[in-house]
Structure 1
């Protein structure tokens, strides 16, 4: 079915007007995809729908020698109450344990096959706004919960300086 027949456009309507109307209709009806942009310099992650900024959140980023990777990625894992594995000892701390530094939500977007980088909460809210993590994006617990319920597997994540 053509767009003209779906819109019930009279046959005498010019093609030029129809193209303009179609562009406006498409912009209003097609839901643009979400994507995230992390600014390491500004220590913020911004959620976009298409080109429209939805919300920006303060973050902590990787500290020296544990820098957050730069590039284009996609959300690869999403977990509630994630288990944390200490990168030095290999000791696992289960989700929900007060000693678990990940909080209640994990949004993973990078891995080298052994280590992961992602968004998570923190029991140390004073670290947000600093270069303090092992490469991960620390967020206030309420912010990462909000973000968790907005993004999906496959959501693009861009990390820039």
Structure 2
């Protein structure tokens, strides 16, 4: 009788061990499935941006950390909007339907045309540091910086950027001279910097 009880107890223990092992396998499978890497949405976005850039393999490379923040989805205050007229070579600042300011700009040269379309301000920076997209030379901030002392970015492929910036060479304003960016006189870009926020719409037209 005791032996029969012992056999029954042994079977019960074995069943419990088997059940525990089975449950462990199920939990491990669910965890593995839930942590499987998902498609790289950032990479997909970069590809879409490159397709929209109209032949911009490089653009501007800023040597500062850049990642579009959650603030970029916020509506800009005072209902501001920037309209860039490439043929006119000016940027117009709208408040509602009223133009409150306009500034002359230099635009992208042949082969590096400024992309057209609807964008928004993604990044603002004082005293930017720039790396030349072809030579790789690094230009520090200062009075002689090719980017001037303000940067207002509205396009990126995740590494390179295009935007408004100053220049120490006022004579190039109004010409097709840049690598896709919109060059402005330093006093003008300082004013524009104060007039826009992250998320301000930017419309670039031919």
Instruction: Give the TM-score category using the shorter length.
Output: 0.7 to 0.9
Q: Encode CA deviations 1:74-132: one digit per residue, 9 max, x unaligned.
A: 0011000001111013232222263x200100000001223211101111111101111
Out of 123, 126, 144, the residue aligned to residue 80 of structure 1 is: 126
Q: Give the alignment's Cα RMSD to 1 decimal.
A: 1.3
5+ long unaligned stretches in structure 1: 1-30
5+ long unaligned stretches in structure 2: 1-76
Q: Encode CA deviations 1:13-57: one digit per residue, 9 max, x unaligned.
A: xxxxxxxxxxxxxxxxxx751000000000000000111111111
Structure 1 residue 137 corresponds to structure 2 residue 191: no
Bigger radius of gyration, 1 or 2? 2
Aligned length: 130
Structure 1 residue 56 corresponds to structure 2 residue 110: no
- CA displacement at 1:143 relative to structure 2: 0.3
Normalised by the size of structure 1, how large is the TM-score? 0.77
Out of 152, 159, 170, the residue aligned to residue 125 of structure 1 is: 170
2:191 aligns with 146
| More strand by percentage | 1
| More helix by percentage | 2
Q: Which stretches of structure 1, 4 residues or more, deviate above 6 A after TM superposition?
A: none
Structure 1 residue 112 corresponds to structure 2 residue 162: no
Normalised by the size of structure 2, how large is the TM-score? 0.61
Report if the CA contact (8 A) 2:143-2:168 is conserved.
no
